[in-house]
Amino acid sequence: MSLFQATLGRHIDLSDADKDLLSSFEHQPQTANKHQRLWGPRMRVGDLFILQSGWACSIRATSDGEQQVIELLLPGDIIGLREFTFSHHITEASMLTRGTIQPLHHANIVDVIAASTPLAIALFAIISRQEALLTERMLMALHRSARSRLLHFVIETYLRLDKVQAITLAAFDFPVSQRLLGSILGLSPVHINRILKTLEQDEILKKFRGHIEVYDAQRLFDEAQFDSDYLGNEMHGLKQRLALLSPGAA
């Protein structure tokens, strides 16, 4: 089963028909280079991309001449799901690392929704969780210090990665420059650097070029005041309703 199916299956139980339908969209994954641009602002919405390996992001240019990262996309995510009902892109999307992607025309999402209610609900679950991620980031931006925000983001990213493929907190891949960290958190690169410096001095963690090493997980979580409620996958009530809808569906 592919990463993408696993992502959808995290929220609902996939029937064999659902799996077949999804497989038909995952034919020949393409290799995407680092910094490869998938679309830009004002471009017509066409293909979305299932990210099968590597990291990507969507970006907006801000009025003050900076770049703001809107969402960080990890393996298993759908790049552009949040914009598939728009006629034109507002964001730019590009790869942060080399990776593999699977194009999927936005109209095909309509086909998926028409073909399978469970898959439609799973897509709602995914988009709702993206929104929850965004909400949490806004909360952090408005009510937390830069240091706490950075720690929060490290934990969030670790947990998202760990869900896709088990990794260790003591040392995990993190191909994000200080400048990019600033674009994600809305902080200046200079300040990011100062924070990382103190985190290293305090023996909490150290960010290297391509990875992070965590020395003191306890203090990491304490200072980040991380509450993982918003990352949950459970959907009790709706699963029952879905079962009722198609008791004999293959």
Strands 56-61 and 211-214: unpaired
248 near its own copies, rule: CB under 8 A: no
Amino acid at 176: V
Q: Which does 236 bind (CB under 5 to 8 A by kind): DNA, its own copies, none?
A: its own copies
Question: Whose CA is closest to 136, among 160, 170, 171?
Answer: 160
The least CB distance from residue 235 to its own copies, in Å, is 5
Strands 56-61 and 30-32: unpaired
Question: Does residue 56 interact with its own copies by CB under 8 A?
Answer: no
90 makes contact with its own copies (CB under 8 A): yes
CB of 113 to its own copies, least distance (A): 5
- The span of 106-114, 166-174, 190-198, 239-247 binding DNA (CB under 7 A) equals 190-198
Q: Which is nearer to its own copies, 22 or 242 (CB)?
A: 242
> For residues 133 and 81, is the Cβ–Cβ distance under 8 A?
no
Task: Work out whether 194 is an interface residue with DNA (CB under 7 A).
Answer: yes
Count CA within 13 A, CB hemisphere, residue 60: 9
Smaller CB separation from DNA, 11 or 149: 149
- Distances 207 to 123, 154, 247 between C-alpha atoms, Å: 34, 10, 51
Per partner kind, with CB cut-offs from 5 to 8 A, the member of its own copies, DNA, none near residue 27 is none
φ and ψ of 50, to 5 deg: -85, 120
Greatest alpha-carbon pair distance for the chain in Å reads 60
Beta bridge pairs of residue 67 = 61
Per CB under 7 A, 186 contacts DNA: yes
Positions in the binding site for its own copies (CB under 8 A): 11, 44-46, 60, 62-64, 66, 68, 70, 82-88, 90, 106-107, 110-111, 113-114, 117, 120-121, 123-125, 127-132, 134-135, 137-139, 141-144, 186, 225, 229-230, 232, 234-238, 240-242, 245
